């Protein structure tokens, strides 16, 4: 398969392949980035343990700040369609120091989750063979995960067109198998063959039925993780046919599709398996880390392998799409002198951020192998700490939106709401989530490890953000960084390095038009 170089008669910008994605292609990549099947596997059981029958409404409540922040992304992208997203927007709003940390938040979240995605993909790949002993072979699983990261890095390096074609197939398989899960669960329920048939209750959707505040907060934090990833739509804004319009629409559309997916699957699972602590009950702590694996035999019988394939594909798919925003974020940082010049290198044929993509994949591989060699528990705690980085840079984006548009908020009721009120509310919610999560993580019983006398999850989460401060200060010492930190290479009045003149857009590779 080859990628045809794109020649749109327009300014160079950062050199990315402009006009490649339409609305459907952007939405597909946004959905794939969230890895819907993998996200449900990783969180559904723990959300049920935290709030029981209120799991569906927990997913709905967690959707609210995501939607509010999606509006912030959309409005900022309309004004500043730059692939640096949080980094660029925060720098324009608050200056270089806050902007650099926003960019670091995006990068560190991507690197950490890539390790977990690779591990999950490796485990589920070998679960398809033998008696399960292969999936428990740590060196084999680790090597397989490394291969998956390398393969997806290569696909990302070869071009967003190839990546989109791959994601169309992988996402279609994911949603087909999720539909099979829902239909099978409801079929067993109505046929009377469900292990613990539980009638649907509107109380499951009652936001006032939560009984414990701590459980509610824990469930919301977990649910935030499964929505994370839709902002990849915005990171590819310079490669869409209409950078100011399509990415924002795709982001909002992605979050709505995810809401329907998560609530639908959760309700069907509850109706099929119930909330008890039996062998397949959703209240069983022993299966909380992988409910799909526990339910697959009863649901699909001889075709239970299909759910294993669904989780594996979801993890592999998200591995590739997670690389995309991370690479484009570091490309933008380098373009504005916030990182070494090498990171702004764009492949002359494939029009991808070649150095940023390859370095990102290499760092993820090193991190994955390093964490595995040290301790699998530390790797798991680093995943649990992801919520801090996610809440950090999403909240920062919300605040940046309010401040960047502060002079426009009185122009109309629409501007006040979508550029001010909603982003601010989303940012405040996520700030609270960050603070509450950090406090909970200090407890030595939180997670799998204890470091420095407190919860290892807290040390890893806060430590990852603190490392960003250190790296920022190190880069500040280099003469080449001065234009950025003096506010010369990027400030509120800087023209972003992406062309915005009117052009004739070619037909998108996904077949749609803007």
pLDDT-based confidence at residue 255 (cuts at 50, 70, 90): confident
The mean pLDDT value for 120-141 works out to: 84
Cα–Cα distance measured from residue 104 to residue 87, given in angstroms and rounded to the nearest whole number: 8
What is the model's pLDDT at position 171? 81
pLDDT tens, 407-442? Answer: 999 999 999 999 999 999 999 999 988 898 888 889
What is the model's pLDDT at position 161? 63
Q: What are phi and psi of 394, to 5 degrees?
A: -70, -45
The mean pLDDT value for 379-399 works out to: 86
pLDDT tens, 189-222? Answer: 999 998 888 999 999 999 888 888 777 877 777 7
What is the model's pLDDT at position 330? 93
* Segments making up each domain of the chain, as ranges: 23-486
More confident residue, 22 or 151: 151
Q: What are phi and psi of 418, to 5 degrees?
A: -85, -20
More confident residue, 234 or 508: 234
Contact 455, 446 (CB under 8 A): yes
Residue with tokens 């991190």: 367
> What percent of the chain is modeled with pLDDT above 90?
35
pLDDT tens, 30-67? Answer: 887 788 888 888 788 888 888 889 999 999 988 888 88
Write down the architecture of domain 23-486 according to CATH: Up-down Bundle (1.20)
Q: Which two tokens stand for residue 222?
A: 């977990």
> pTM of the predicted model, to two decimals?
0.84
Q: Which two tokens stand for residue 485?
A: 């930190």
Cα–Cα distance measured from residue 100 to residue 98, given in angstroms and rounded to the nearest whole number: 6
Q: Which two tokens stand for residue 216?
A: 């509610």
Contact 72, 230 (CB under 8 A): no
What is the model's pLDDT at position 446? 80
Helices (H) and strands (E) in the chain, counts: 19, 2
What is the model's pLDDT at position 337? 92
What is the model's pLDDT at position 292? 83
What is the model's pLDDT at position 136? 84
What is the model's pLDDT at position 401? 97
Mean pLDDT of all residues belonging to the chain: 84
For residue 172, count other CB atoms closer than 10 A to its CB: 12
pLDDT tens, 450-462? Answer: 888 888 888 888 9
Q: Which two tokens stand for residue 364?
A: 């993820």
Contact 316, 170 (CB under 8 A): yes
pLDDT tens, 273-291? Answer: 999 888 888 888 888 877 8
More confident residue, 234 or 397: 397
């Amino acid at each position: 398969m080859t990628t045809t170089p794109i020649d749109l008669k327009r300014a160079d910008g950062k050199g990315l392949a402009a006009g490649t994605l339409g609305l459907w292609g952007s939405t597909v990549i946004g959905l794939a980035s969230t890895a819907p099947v993998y996200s449900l596997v990783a969180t559904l059981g723990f959300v049920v343990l935290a709030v029981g029958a209120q799991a569906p409404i927990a997913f709905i409540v967690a959707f609210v700040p995501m939607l509010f922040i999606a509006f912030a992304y959309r409005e900022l992208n309309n004004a500043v369609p730059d692939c640096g997203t949080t980094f660029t927007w925060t720098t324009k709003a608050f200056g270089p120091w806050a902007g650099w940390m926003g960019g670091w938040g995006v990068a560190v979240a991507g690197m950490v989750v890539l390790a977990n995605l690779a591990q999950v993909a490796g485990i589920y790949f070998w679960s398809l063979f033998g008696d399960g002993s292969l999936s428990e072979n740590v060196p084999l699983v680790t090597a397989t995960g490394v291969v998956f990261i390398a393969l997806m890095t290569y696909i990302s390096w070869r071009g967003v067109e190839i990546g989109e074609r791959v994601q169309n197939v992988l996402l279609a398989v994911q949603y087909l198998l999720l539909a099979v899960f829902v239909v099978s669960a409801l079929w067993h329920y109505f046929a009377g063959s469900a292990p613990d048939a539980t009638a649907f209750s509107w109380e499951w959707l009652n936001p006032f039925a939560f009984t414990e505040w701590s459980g509610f907060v824990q469930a919301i934090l977990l649910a935030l993780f499964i929505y994370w990833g839709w902002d990849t739509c915005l990171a590819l804004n310079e490669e869409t046919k209409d950078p100011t319009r399509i990415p924002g629409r795709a982001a909002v559309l992605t979050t709505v599709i995810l809401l329907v997916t998560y609530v639908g699957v959760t309700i069907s699972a509850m109706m099929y398996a119930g909330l008890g602590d039996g062998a397949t009950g959703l209240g069983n702590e022993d299966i909380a880390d992988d409910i799909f694996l526990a339910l697959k035999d009863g649901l699909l019988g001889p075709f239970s392998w299909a759910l294993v394939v669904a989780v594996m594909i979801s993890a592999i798919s998200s591995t590739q799409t997670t690389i995309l925003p991370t690479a484009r974020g570091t490309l933008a940082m380098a373009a504005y002198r916030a990182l070494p010049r090498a990171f702004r290198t764009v492949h002359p044929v494939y029009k991808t951020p070649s150095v940023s993509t390859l370095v990102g994949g290499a760092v993820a591989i090193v991190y994955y192998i390093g964490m595995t060699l040290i301790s699998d528990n530390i790797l798991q705690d680093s995943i649990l700490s992801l919520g801090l980085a996610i809440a950090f840079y999403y909240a920062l984006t919300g605040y940046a939106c309010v401040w960047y548009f502060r002079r426009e908020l009185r122009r109309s009721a629409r501007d006040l709401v979508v550029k001010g009120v909603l982003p601010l509310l989303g940012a405040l919610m996520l700030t609270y989530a960050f603070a509450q999560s950090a406090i909970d993580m200090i407890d030595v019983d939180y997670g799998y490890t204890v470091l420095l006398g407190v919860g290892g999850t807290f040390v890893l989460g806060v430590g990852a953000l603190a490392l960003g401060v250190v790296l920022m200060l190190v880069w500040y010492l280099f003469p080449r960084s001065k234009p950025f930190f003096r506010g010369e290479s990027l400030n509120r009045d800087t023209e972003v390095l992406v062309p915005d003149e009117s052009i004739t857009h070619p037909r998108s590779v996904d077949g749609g038009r803007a």
